[in-house]
Amino acid sequence: MTTLDRNDILSGLRDLISDLRSTGHKAGIRLVGGAALALKYFDRNTTQDLDALHVSPGTDSVVSAAASRVAKSRGWAPDWLNFNVEKVGALPTFGRRTVEWETIFYKHGILIQIASKEALLAMKLRANRPGRDTNDIRQLMRMCEITKLEDAEEFYEDFYPGDALTDRAISMVSKILELGLPDKIQAPEPFEL
């Protein structure tokens, strides 16, 4: 298992971009989860992988091969760039609110985007893994101005219509609100890829 901090994420993405460019391939990658949070929204210490979605251009096999070469050169787990997030149905696709994406890199046919804080909160509420997601949800609730359980439930259903927060998510959000949201979120330093 690989543990990646923000510097690892940035250097891994730089190596991935370099590999794709050197082989003349184009690619589109969208990041969600902990890596997206660490790059754009707040310091979250470490993550085990980069949850990614493939978008046009390019093919999964080309991006996966490049990611494997980066993993080998760095001694990382081969699945450090993880495309399984699409398979588990975590990405909201049919809601009243759609996922918005911010481009953080676009050159030479290589596109990297990060999901909005709103979409990330919805996905974290869906996963609601105790300990692992608690602080992320807490900070994202502050950023998205969610201050009541009812607001969190309505917000979630906007992304996942017909679904309700699970009992575990309700308990987690209730506890977060009881303990209080952070006063301020410290955004990470700007970066270049």
Digit-coded pLDDT (tens) for 85-136: 776 566 777 777 788 999 999 999 999 999 999 999 999 999 999 988 999 9
Residue 144's pLDDT is what? Answer: 97
Question: What pLDDT digit, counting tens, does each position of 47-96 carry?
Answer: 999 999 877 788 888 999 999 999 999 999 999 999 887 765 667 777 77
Q: What integer is the mean pLDDT of 17-35? A: 95
More confident call, 56 vs 148: 148
Indicate the DSSP class of residue 105: E
**Among 24-28, 29-33, 41-45, 155-159, where is mean pLDDT lowest?**
41-45
CA 153 to chain centre: 21
160 vs 156: CA distance, rounded Å: 6
**Mean pLDDT over each residue of the chain, to the nearest integer:** 92
pLDDT at position 89: 62
Among the listed residues 54, 43, 45, the one whose alpha carbon sits nearest the alpha carbon of residue 20: 54
167-180 exposure pattern, b = at least 16 Cβ within 10 A, e = fewer: eebbebbeebbeee
- The residues, any chain, with a CB within 8 Å of residue 56's CB and separated by 6 or more, are 28
Whether the pLDDT of residue 9 is over 60: the answer is yes
What pLDDT, on the 0 to 100 scale, is given for residue 88? Answer: 56
For the chain, give every domain's residue range: 4-116, 119-179
Res. 157 pLDDT band, cuts 50 70 90: very high
The model carries a pTM of: 0.93
